Amino acid sequence: MLAGNRRFVAGTPEHPNQDAARRAQLTPGQEPFAVILGCSDSRLAAEIIFDQGLGDLFVVRTAGHVLGAEVLGSVEYATSVLGCRLVVVLGHDSCGAVAAARAAVENGLPAAGFVRDVVERVTPSVLAARAAGLTEDSDIIDEHIRHTAQLLMDRSRVLSEQVETGEVAVVGLAYQLAEGSARMVTSHGVESMEGATR
């Protein structure tokens, strides 16, 4: 994936697996190599920024890459049924969910409607960053990525056992909107991370 991201940044994408032959090949079933839990931000299209194609990535997106039962079930489905060996938490700079949670913590500005649920799920990351003395946006984003990756394993016994046995790796990447580049923030199960460099 990181090799694909380097191609995207350099402006030399290969656009693999995006033709009629690949579409026909995938009709009977899918075998993605990675599951991406990313933010819903429209600037964060995983197949594009990692230069992947049809059937390569199983993508789950929520605002601020927050977790709920349906997200955990989707990730477990990807690793247990589809055979994904890499789980990627994909965060990014200028994340509106993180900014809203930060505003709620610092200024007491609550969100309305169901946006409040998103903000409440991001707030522990903002509080952890504050407790560690982190004040820069990039540091808070990184803390939220680390928190989400850890929360995935804490809440999913299936996933934590897969990481423990070396079947699956969980990594956290931070995407920079202006540069288009992704960098590693955290990793668990590094012995299974070969897919991250694809």
Strands 86-92 and 34-39: parallel
Separation CA 124–CA 120 (nearest Å): 8
User: What does DSSP assign to residue 136?
Assistant: S
Q: Which domains does the chain have, with CATH numbers?
A: 2-94+139-197 (3.40.1050.10)
Separation CA 160–CA 44 (nearest Å): 26
Residue-wise pLDDT for 41-98, tens only, equals 999 999 999 999 999 999 999 999 999 999 999 999 999 999 999 999 999 999 999 9
Answer yes or no: is pLDDT of 192 > 50.
Answer: no
Residue-wise pLDDT for 113-136, tens only, equals 999 999 999 999 999 999 999 999
Could you tell me the CA-to-CA distances from 66 to 71, 115, 198 in Å, in that order?
8, 11, 26
Answer yes or no: is pLDDT of 196 > 80.
Answer: no
Amino acid at 66: V
- pTM for the whole structure: 0.92
pLDDT interval class at 112 (50, 70, 90): confident
Strands 57-62 and 169-176: unpaired
- At 108 the pLDDT is 87
pLDDT interval class at 109 (50, 70, 90): confident
